[in-house]
Amino acid sequence: MNVVEFFQNIDPKEWVVAIFGGLAVLSVQKGFSDFIIPIYKGKVEKLPNFNKTEWRGYPDNNELDGEPTSTLTIRQRGNKINAKIVRDAGKGIRNFHYSGKMYGNQIVLEFFDEQGPGYIVGTMVLHIGSDLRTLRGASTFVHQDKSRVVSYFSTYKRV
């Protein structure tokens, strides 16, 4: 029996059961990887809860009394982090989308900005202050105008 004959002999009901069974397995796997495992890791590692928090961003010049240049919003599920930074870039408002994980007292993220010149991607690592109200770190990416990798340091204060 060749492959074509094999598939011709399968009852259509068996196809439906196989397709829905496969979708059910994928749904359960997605639930574990997106919800259950990150929440479990967050509890076991005793990670702080920053879900639905907002932070004001300042350039790292230690002048936190000045005007913030960005707003960071964090969504968290256990150790998984999704974030958005709205930044006043001088030439207009820019939106950066982040995803990553929390490891102990660090948040490690990758980001993209579809509105920038070219397709800008990069990384950000933030250190969580002991007061849980301060994040300090750096963003690293290829600067399109300078044609080289650059890093910018920032401090975020919890609102």
Reference 156, options 120, 140, 132; nearest CA is 132
pTM of the model: 0.80
Tokens 């820019």 sit at which residue?
A: 94
| Rounded Cα–Cα distance for residues 41 and 46 (Å) | 8
- The pLDDT of residue 13: 86
Q: What is the DSSP letter of 156?
A: E
> Tokens at residue 118, please?
């070219």
Q: Are strands 148-158 and 134-143 parallel, antiparallel or unpaired?
A: antiparallel
| Rounded Cα–Cα distance for residues 87 and 115 (Å) | 12
pLDDT: which is higher, 34 or 154: 154
pLDDT in tens, 33-53: 888 888 898 999 999 999 999
C-alpha distance from residue 114 to each of 10, 18, 77, 99, 125 (Å): 46, 39, 25, 15, 20
> Tokens at residue 43, please?
């509890």
pLDDT in tens, 111-142: 988 676 667 889 999 999 999 999 999 999 98
Using an 8 Å Cβ cutoff, are 107 and 125 in contact?
A: yes
